[in-house]
Chain A
Amino acid sequence: MADAYTRFVRSTPGAMIAKRTGLPRPARLLRREDRPEPVLGPVVVLGDSAGADQVAQLLLSWGADVRRRFEELRRVGSVVVVLDEVDAPDQLGPVLLPLAGAMRTLAPGARVVAVSRPATGQDPGRDATRGGIEGFTRSLAHEMRSGGTANGILAADGVALDAPGVIGALRFLLSARSAFVTGQFLEVTTAAGTLTEDSAQPLAGRTALVTGAARGIGAAIARTLAADGAHLVVLDVPAAGTELSRLANELRAVPIQLDVTSDGAGERLVQFLREHSLTLDVLVLNAGITRDKLFANMTPDRWDPVIGVNITSQITLTNALIDAGDVLGAQPRVVSLASTSGIAGNRGQTNYATSKAGVMAFVDALSSRLAEQGGTANAVAPGFIETEMTARMPAINREVARRVNSLQQGGLPVDVAEAIGFLSSAEAGGIQGQTLRVCGQNIVGR
Chain B
Amino acid sequence: MSESHPAAPATTSAAPTTPGAPAARELPREALVLGGNRIPFARAGGPYAGISNQDLLTAALDGLVARFGLQGEKLGEIAGGAVLKLAADLNLTRESALGTPLDPRTPAIDMGRACATGLESVVHVSNRIQLGQIDSAIACGVDSASDSPIEVTPRLRRTLHRAFAAKTPVQRLKALAGIRPGDLAPMPPRNSEPRTGLSMGEHMALTAAQWGVSREAQDELALASHRNLAAAYEAGFLDDLVTGYRGLGKDQNLRADSSMEKLASLKPVFGVKSPQVAEPTMTAGNSTPLSDGASAVLMGSADWAAEHGLTPLARVVDARISAVDFVHGEEGLLMAPAYAVPELLDANGMTLQDVDLYEIHEAFASTVLATLAAWESEEFCREKLGRSAPLGSIDRSRLNVAGSSLAAGHPFAATGGRIVATLAKLLHQRALETGRPQRGLISVCAAAGQGSVALLESVTP
Contacts and interface: CB of A to CB of B under 8 A. Distances in A.
Interface of A: 237-242, 244-246, 248-250, 252-255, 257-259, 268
Contact of B245 (A242, A252, A255): A242
Contact of B243 (A242, A252, A253, A259): A242
Contacts of A254: 69
B249 A245 contact: no
B67 A255 contact: yes
Contact of B65 (A239, A240, A245): A245
A277 to B, nearest CB: 9
Contacts of A241: 39, 63, 242-245, 249
Given A248-B66, A249-B62, A249-B100, A242 B246 contact: yes
Chain B interface extent, by class: 20 to 34
Given A249-B66, A254-B69, A242 B242 contact: no
A230 B5 CA distance: 53
22 contacts: A237-B249, A238-B242, A238-B244, A239-B244, A239-B249, A240-B247, A241-B63, A241-B249, A242-B59, A242-B243, A242-B245, A242-B246, A245-B66, A245-B243, A248-B66, A249-B65, A252-B69, A252-B71, A255-B66, A257-B239, A258-B239, A259-B249
Given A239-B247, A239-B249, A268 B62 contact: no
Q: Which 9 A-B pairs have the closest CB atoms?
A: A241-B244, A238-B249, A245-B66, A241-B243, A239-B249, A248-B66, A238-B244, A245-B63, A239-B244
A242 B69 CA distance: 14
B321 to A, nearest CB: 33
A249 B248 contact: no
Contacts of A253: 66
Interface in B62-81: 62-63, 65-67, 69, 71
Interface in B243-263: 243-250
B85 to A, nearest CB: 22
A242 B244 CA distance: 6
B392 interface: no
Contact of A245 (B62, B248, B250): B62
A419 to B, nearest CB: 27
Contacts of B71: 249, 252
Interface of B: 39, 59, 62-63, 65-67, 69, 71, 100-101, 236, 239, 242-250
Nearest to B65: A249
Contacts of A240: 244, 247
Contacts of B66: 244-246, 248-249, 253, 255
Contacts of A246: 62, 66
A250 B239 CA distance: 21
A237 B249 CA distance: 8
Nearest to A234: B66
Nearest to A236: B244
A263 B323 CA distance: 48
A259 B244 CA distance: 12
B350 to A, nearest CB: 33
A252 B249 CA distance: 23
Nearest to B70: A249
A294 B192 CA distance: 56
B101 A249 contact: yes
Contacts of A257: 239, 243-244, 249
A242 B39 contact: yes
Contacts of A245: 59, 62-63, 65-67, 243
Contacts of B65: 245, 249
Contacts of A249: 62, 65-66, 71, 100-101
Contacts of A268: 236, 239
Contacts of B239: 257-258, 268
A239 B100 CA distance: 20
Nearest to A258: B239
Contacts of A252: 69, 71
Contacts of B249: 237-239, 241, 257, 259
A259 B67 CA distance: 17
Contacts of B247: 239-240
Nearest to B101: A249
